[in-house]
Structure 1
Amino acid sequence: MLQVCLNGARSRTECSHLPVTPGELAAAAREAVAAGAEDIHLHPKDRDGQDTLEAAAVAAAVNAVRAAVPGVPVGVTTGAWAAADPRTRVAQVRIWTVLPDHASVNWHEDGAAEVAAALLERGIGIEAGIYSGTPAAQRFLDWPESRRVLRILAEITETAEEDAVRAAADLLGELGAVAAPILLHGEDAAAWPVLRLAASNRLDVRIGLEDVLHLPDGSPAPDNAALVTAARAALRHSHST
């Protein structure tokens, strides 16, 4: 499975063509799905372009993207940077008026189990974010409901290629006992090496402007669709060798 991560916690200062508004997210999703994306992860934004879990913003973003790509699963973040207090994150999830298909929960963050429980209560799939270099893997494995997640997001935070590949191997080893599908991804300079590693291991992958702003040849990515097209080419090459 190839997921596109449309925007992330980035801002327009980092990427002038980052999709931020519901309309921009919808257009980016449509183009990315046409290029081969099968699942969508996005960060709803407030009027200042900051990540938010506020119900109206989540509803606007999810509704716009669903209308653009009917039938394609749409997920959002629950990252602590959008609301620092885990009690606030739980409360916001409980009053969402439009439910995404899934939401990511970062297991190194305080309150992860409580946020995950709120998502399960509402029938929202959980992407368990397990960051390398943190105690997240063991914290997740110790959670009694760990088998109920939709998938694992194995998130490699190291950005130097050799370090990232080593960290990915270590993290996959820690997650060896999980039953859920694993989506392995990296960021910035490590995004493409980690994607190729994931493809060679037949794991789910993701790409998009949240993870990387450059194509494999180092040129700036004009949009998410270009990144998805390049990822599809990398997957074809990996599966043919």
Structure 2
Amino acid sequence: MLQVCPNGARSRAECAHLPVTADELASAALAAVAAGAEDVHLHPKDRDGHDTLEAAAVAAAVGAVRAAVPGVPVGVTTGAWATPDPEVRAAQVRAWTVLPDHASVNWHEEGAAQVAAALLERGVGIEAGVYSGTPAARRFLDWPASHRVLRVLAEVTETDPQDAVHAATRLLDALRPAATPILLHGEDDAAWPVLRLAASRGLDTRIGLEDVLHLPCGTPAPSNAALVRAARGIIRGTPPVTP
């Protein structure tokens, strides 16, 4: 499965054509799905362009994207940078009026289990964000409901390509006991090398302006759809690893 992550916590200061509004996210998702994306992970924004978990913003973003790409799963973040207090974050999840298909929960953040419980109460699938270089893998695997998540987002935070590939291998080894599918991805200069590793191992992966602002050739990415097309080309041309 190839997921598109069209905006992330980035701002227009980093990328002039970053989709921010609900309509922009819908247009970006439509083009990305046409290019080969099968799932959408987005960050609803407030009027100032900052990530938010407020019900109105989530409803607008999820509703617009879902209308643009009916039948394609749509997910959102629950990152602590949007709402630092985990109790408030969980309350925001319980107040959502339009439910996404899934939401990511980062297990290195305090209150992850509390936020995850709120999502399970609402019937929202969980993407368990497990960052390299953190105790997140152990925390997640020790959570009694770890088997109930939709997938694990194995997130490689190292940006040096060689270091990132080694970190990804270590992270996958740490996640071997997980009983759910794994989506492996990297960021910035390591995004493409980690995507190639995911493709070689037959794992789910993702790409989008959240993770990287350039194409594999190094030129600036003009759109999320261009990134998805490049990722599809790599996935098609990468032979899987045989056991």
What TM-score do the two structures reach when normalised by structure 2? 0.98
Match of 2:59 in 1: 59
Query: 2:125 — aligned with what?
Result: 125
Matches within 5 A, 1:88-99: 88-99=88-99
Task: Report the equivalent of 2:177.
Answer: 177
Residue in structure 2 matched with residue 134 of structure 1 by the alignment: 134
Q: State the distance in 1 between where 2:6 and 2:238 align.
A: 24
- Residue in 2 that maps onto 1:101: 101
Residue 193 (str. 1) matches residue 193 (str. 2): yes
> What do residues 40-66 of structure 1 show as CA deviations (whole Å, max 9, x unaligned)?
000000000000000000000000000
Aligned pairs for 1:210-229 (under 5 A) are 210-229=210-229
Who is 2:30 aligned against? 30
Change beyond 3 A, Cα 1:145–1:233: same
Cα distance in 2 for partners of 1:161, 1:189 equals 6
**Partner letter of residue 216 of structure 2?**
P
How far apart in 2 are the matches of 1:31 and 1:106?
Answer: 28
Supply the distance in 2 between the matched residues of 1:144 and 1:177 (Cα, whole angstroms): 13
Task: Give 1:240 deviation, angstroms.
Answer: 7.6
Equivalence for 2:167: 167
Q: Per the alignment, in what secondary structure is the counterpart of residue 25 of structure 1?
A: helix
What secondary structure is seen at the aligned counterpart in 2 of 1:3?
strand
Q: Secondary structure at 1:239's aligned position in 2?
A: coil
Q: Give the match's secondary structure for 2:184.
A: strand
In structure 2, the partner of 1:235 is 235
Structure 1 residues 174-201: Cα deviation after superposition (integer angstroms, max 9, x where no partner): 0001110000000000000000000000
Q: How far apart, CA to CA, are the structure 2 residues paired with 1:80 and 1:216?
A: 30
Q: CA deviation at 1:236?
A: 0.6
The RMSD of aligned alpha carbons is: 0.8
Tell me the secondary structure at the aligned position of residue 238 of structure 2: helix
Cα distance, 1:239 vs structure 2: 3.4
Gaps in structure 1 of 5+ consecutive residues: none
Q: Per-residue displacement from partner, 1:153-181 (whole Å, max 9, x unpaired)?
A: 00000000111001001000000011100
Per-residue deviation, residues 9-39 of structure 1 (Å, max 9, x unmatched):
0000000000000000000000000000000
Whole-angstrom CA distance in 2 between matches of 1:108 and 1:126 = 15
Q: Which runs of 4+ in 1 moved over 2 A?
A: none
Q: Equivalent pairs: percent with the same residue?
A: 78
Counterpart AA for 1:165: V
